[in-house]
Amino acid sequence: MWNHIHLLIEVPPKCDQLLSDEGLLERLELLYSADHVGMVRMQLEDLMNSTTEVGQKAYQEVRETYARRMWDLGLFMKTLKQRFSSWYNKKHQRKGTLWEARYKSVLVENGHAARTMAAYIDLN
């Protein structure tokens, strides 16, 4: 069918170690434009050196805005659908949403179930 997509996504467990700013920016480069990543880089650099409590709080908020998406499937899907819709609408000179309903998710454990799901997706 042409009106839906299937994704098999592994959501890694959230690590206890804090992701470095460079690590965060490397991951953002996979999803955002160079201009957007450059803007985030400048924000982080400006706020990181802040000596005020407000500046340090703003630094943490910028980091958290992007970092929390890495382990949250709902936020990931929201961003993916929005970015794809924007691209598709621009390419086809149209407006509006592409998806009628919220995404559906199924938890798949490793092993046979994951291979079966991958085969199902491949055949679709």
pLDDT tens-digit readout, 37-90: 999 999 999 998 888 999 999 999 999 888 887 778 888 888 888 888 999 999
Name the more confident of 25 and 68: 25
Total count of domains within the chain = 2
- Domain interval for residue 93: 75-124
User: Both tokens of residue 17?
Assistant: 């170690």
Burial (Cβ within 10 Å: 0-12, 13-18, ≥19) of residue 24: buried
Banded pLDDT at 16 (limits 50, 70, 90):
low
Q: Distance between CA atoms of 81 and 102, rounded to whole angstroms?
A: 10
Residues 49 and 25 in one domain: yes
Place of tokens 């382990």: 71
- Is the domain of 65 the same as that of 20? yes
Is position 57 within any domain? yes
Choose the final residue of a domain: 26, 51, 71: 71
21 and 64 share one domain: yes
Residue 63 and residue 88 share a domain? no
Task: Give this prediction's pTM.
Answer: 0.62
